[in-house]
Amino acid sequence: MPKVLVVDDDATVREVVVSYLRAAGHEVREAVDGPGALDAVRDEPADLIVLDVMMPGLDGLEVARRLRVASDVPIVLLTALGSEQDRVVGLEIGADDYVTKPFSPRELVLRVDSILRRSAGSLDTSTPTVLTDGDLVVDRARRLVTRGGAETALTTREFDLLAFLVSRPGVAFSRDDLLQQVWGWSFGDQSTVTVHVRRLREKVEPDPTNPVRLRTVWGVGYRWETTS
């Protein structure tokens, strides 16, 4: 049974989210603030964290930053912030997804389930288990990426995007294509793709400012170019 930690200072929101997640078959724990969330993770690791951004004191963004120092646990942010820049900040910190308040609890459960399925490593058997491009190795079964022999830490969404593109070199995909084919979203904010591409470049490109692997196709989207 997947273990989900729900962190929100609003008791009503917390109760609704916990109720829907439990009904969907998840084991759920709760925390009411940032310090409580960090303590809960130290006491018992979670498979996914639903994390409110706007909490007093230690807010959700700072909690996510601290978690990312030592953990790649999937994080879904709950945010009442409306601007694209606010959402981008959360993704750049390393959150896997976000849901904007007010939200549908059913949609949140679908997002959570989607991330957990992918992080569990369900494989498309038509694609090789291990993908290699020069010094970059993507092990889909172990969900492990190495570059020059050193392990590269990726979030669940970053890994899914990288594995998808590396397995389809030379093919250009629009942002909408990637939202749908990589993460199964029939709708979504295209800035999600843009941020994950930028983060991937920082981790797999020799020079992220002049990418040679994950190339921009102007007017279309992105394309993976092999270097081997």
Instruction: Give the per-residue pLDDT at 24.
Output: 95
Instruction: Give the per-residue pLDDT at 137.
Output: 95
Instruction: Give the per-residue pLDDT at 84.
Output: 66
* Start-to-end Cα distance in the chain: 41
Instruction: Give the per-residue pLDDT at 71.
Output: 86
Instruction: Give the per-residue pLDDT at 3.
Output: 94
**Phi, psi angles (nearest 5°) of residue 24:** -85, 0
Predicted TM-score of the model (pTM): 0.74
Instruction: Give the per-residue pLDDT at 100.
Output: 86
Query: Judging by beta carbons within 10 Å of its beta carbon (0-12, 13-18, 19+), is residue 38 exposed, middle or buried?
Result: middle
Instruction: Give the per-residue pLDDT at 25.
Output: 95
Quote the crossing angle between the two packed helices 34-43 and 60-70, to the nearest 10°. Answer: 30
Instruction: Give the per-residue pLDDT at 82.
Output: 64
Instruction: Give the per-residue pLDDT at 81.
Output: 66
- The type of residue at 210 is N
Report the side by side order of strands in the sheet with 150-151.
Answer: 130-133, 136-139, 144-147, 150-151
Instruction: Give the per-residue pLDDT at 114.
Output: 84
Instruction: Give the per-residue pLDDT at 183.
Output: 78
Residues of the chain with pLDDT under 70: 81-86, 120-127, 185-189, 228
